[in-house]
């Protein structure tokens, strides 16, 4: 509230002021990207990446089917055709063993999502993208500050996107960021974000007037949002510490139970420092998942499923998606469940959730 009041008192609450600059500097330092631009959402950062990569009608873009609609919609908006790849059964991330077979001469980008902030298998994916000369974009909405073999997620692709939507670990209600690693995209990113003008260069004194130079839109968040976000980012260790404790308590409390009933918890490979964005488990069947949701609901506990397979959505079917194309994703759509997970979830409430899970007897 203090930062928001200060932003207002500064007299300019449009974008790219004091707090936006503080957020950019903090994210460049702590997330390890060469250049960061706050945006109005992760969806808009994805739209920027599709513009920056020059996606045209008829281009193909590879992406997981197990993701949020924005990952691919931003590219479909430019006329791209989605090519969906299945998920791994253990981490729920894009199955790297199916990646190469999805590449064609029309492939213009590979999109990745690090589900729950657990990294994809970058040791395999990065060389495949490099060998084919296809730019990699990380939709890192779940994975800010997480690492793979010590390297920050969001720094493997030519660019990456973050979400600061209220449902994410750090937020400002609605917001996002574009992280640019390959600096050949940096100047054009500023222009696209500023309605296709070179206004950013004008403010830096590099040109004496600004003008329309390219396509673009308005992707800058207000200083009020940046002020809120800066406080969140400053509190990153406290927030992540809480989330780590919550994740660990579920994991410790439910591992034996999961083994006993053939329930699968999301795997976190040893080389991943994850972001603790979700606690997800896979029930043995759609029926048991639905019964567990109802059982928890009867005790006042809200549990939720996650992504419905994009290849089977109305839009996905228009691009030829068929049942059976991505069997692991279809199973995750049917069987995956997320437990209550928010920063101030108390240990006592978590123990009540765990006890409610243990009392579930709807297996048959």
Ligand X SMILES: *Cc1c(COP(=O)(O)O)cnc(C)c1O
> CA of 92: how far to CAs of 51, 110, 252, 268, in Å?
28, 17, 20, 10
Burial class of residue 214 (count of CB atoms within 10 Å of its CB; 0-12, 13-18, 19+): middle
For residue 217, the minimal CB distance to ligand X (Å) is: 14
Stretch that binds ligand X, among 39-47, 125-133, 236-244, 314-322 (CB under 6 A): 39-47
For residue 113, the minimal CB distance to ligand X (Å) is: 5
3-state helix, strand, coil in the chain (%, to 5): 45, 15, 40
For residue 287, the minimal CB distance to ligand X (Å) is: 27
Q: Which of 141, 178, 292, 353 binds ligand X (CB under 6 A)?
A: 141
For residue 57, the minimal CB distance to ligand X (Å) is: 23
DSSP 8-state secondary structure symbol assigned to residue 66:
S
Alpha carbons 302 and 296: distance in angstroms, whole number? 7
Parallel, antiparallel, or unpaired: how do β-strands 159-163 and 264-265 relate?
unpaired
Alpha carbons 137 and 139: distance in angstroms, whole number? 6
Binding mask 111-130 toward ligand X (x if CB under 6 A, else -) reads --x-----------------
Provide the token pair at 206: 């590099």
Number of residues that bind ligand X (CB under 6 A): 14
Residues 264, 281: contact at Cβ < 8 Å?
yes
Nearer to ligand X, 52 or 113 (CB): 113
Residue 71 interacting with ligand X (CB under 6 A): yes
Helix (H, G, I), strand (E, B) or coil at 297: helix
Residue 222 interacting with ligand X (CB under 6 A): no
Q: Which of 20, 43, 93, 169 binds ligand X (CB under 6 A)?
A: 43
Residues numbered 77-106 forming contacts with ligand X, rule: CB under 6 A: none
Residues numbered 164-183 forming contacts with ligand X, rule: CB under 6 A: 165, 176
Residue 276 interacting with ligand X (CB under 6 A): no
For residue 59, the minimal CB distance to ligand X (Å) is: 20
Provide the token pair at 108: 């213009």
Nearer to ligand X, 108 or 165 (CB): 165
Alpha carbons 303 and 278: distance in angstroms, whole number? 11
Say which residues have a Cβ less than 8 Å from residue 19's Cβ, sequence separation at least 6.
3, 7, 223, 226, 227, 229, 230
Provide the token pair at 264: 């699968």
For residue 131, the minimal CB distance to ligand X (Å) is: 26
Nearer to ligand X, 295 or 311 (CB): 311
Alpha carbons 55 and 217: distance in angstroms, whole number? 16
Alpha carbons 295 and 362: distance in angstroms, whole number? 8
Provide the token pair at 318: 């228009």
Q: How far is CA 3 from the centre of its chain?
A: 26
Nearer to ligand X, 185 or 307 (CB): 307
Q: Which of 142, 295, 311, 331 binds ligand X (CB under 6 A)?
A: 142
For residue 12, the minimal CB distance to ligand X (Å) is: 24
For residue 50, the minimal CB distance to ligand X (Å) is: 13
For residue 71, the minimal CB distance to ligand X (Å) is: 5
As separate numbers, helices (DSSP H) first and strands (DSSP E) second, the chain gives: 14, 13
Stretch that binds ligand X, among 40-48, 97-105, 254-262, 351-359 (CB under 6 A): 40-48
Stretch that binds ligand X, among 36-44, 186-194, 213-221, 225-233 (CB under 6 A): 36-44
Residue 67 interacting with ligand X (CB under 6 A): yes
Helix (H, G, I), strand (E, B) or coil at 134: coil
Q: How many CB atoms lie within 10 A of CB 316?
A: 21
Binding mask 236-275 toward ligand X (x if CB under 6 A, else -) reads ----------------------------------------
Residue 163 interacting with ligand X (CB under 6 A): yes
Stretch that binds ligand X, among 8-16, 24-32, 63-71, 289-297 (CB under 6 A): 63-71
Q: How many CB atoms lie within 10 A of CB 225?
A: 25
Residues of the shown chain interacting with ligand X in the complex, contacts defined by CB under 6 A: 41-43, 67-68, 70-71, 113, 139, 141-142, 163, 165, 176
């Amino acid at each position: 509230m203090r930062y928001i009041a200060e932003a207002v008192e500064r007299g300019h609450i449009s974008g790219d002021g004091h707090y936006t600059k503080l957020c950019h500097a903090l994210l460049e330092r702590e997330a390890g990207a060469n250049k960061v631009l706050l945006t109005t959402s992760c969806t808009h950062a994805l739209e920027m990446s599709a513009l920056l990569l020059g996606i045209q009608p008829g281009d193909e873009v590879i992406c997981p089917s197990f993701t949020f609609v924005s990952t691919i919609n931003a590219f479909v908006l430019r006329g791209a055709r989605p090519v969906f790849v299945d998920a791994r059964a253990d981490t729920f991330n894009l199955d790297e063993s199916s990646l190469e077979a999805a590449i064609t001469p029309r492939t213009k980008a590979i999109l990745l999502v690090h589900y729950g902030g657990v990294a994809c298998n970058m040791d395999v994916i990065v060389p495949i993208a490099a060998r084919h000369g296809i730019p990699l974009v990380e939709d890192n909405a779940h994975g800010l500050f997480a690492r793979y073999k010590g390297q920050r997620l969001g720094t493997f692709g030519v660019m990456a996107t973050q979400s600061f939507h209220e449902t994410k670990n750090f937020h400002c209600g609605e917001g996002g960021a574009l992280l640019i690693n390959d600096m050949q995209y940096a100047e054009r990113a500023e222009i696209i974000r500023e309605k296709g003008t070179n206004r950013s260069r004008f403010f830096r004194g590099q040109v004496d007037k600004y003008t329309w130079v390219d396509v673009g839109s308005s992707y800058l968040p207000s200083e009020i949002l940046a002020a809120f976000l800066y406080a969140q980012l400053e509190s990153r260790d406290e927030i992540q510490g809480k989330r780590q404790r919550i994740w660990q308590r579920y994991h410790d409390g439910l591992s034996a139970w999961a083994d006993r009933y053939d329930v699968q918890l999301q795997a976190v490979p040893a080389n991943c420092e994850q972001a603790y964005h979700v606690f997800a488990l896979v029930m043995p069947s759609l029926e048991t998942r639905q019964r567990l949701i109802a059982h928890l609901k009867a005790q006042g506990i809200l549990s939720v499923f996650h992504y419905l397979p994009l290849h089977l959505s109305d839009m996905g079917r228009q691009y030829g998606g068929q049942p059976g194309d991505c069997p692991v994703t279809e199973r995750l759509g049917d069987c995956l469940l997320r437990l209550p997970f928010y920063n101030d979830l108390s240990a006592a409430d978590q123990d009540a959730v765990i006890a409610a899970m243990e009392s579930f007897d709807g297996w048959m």
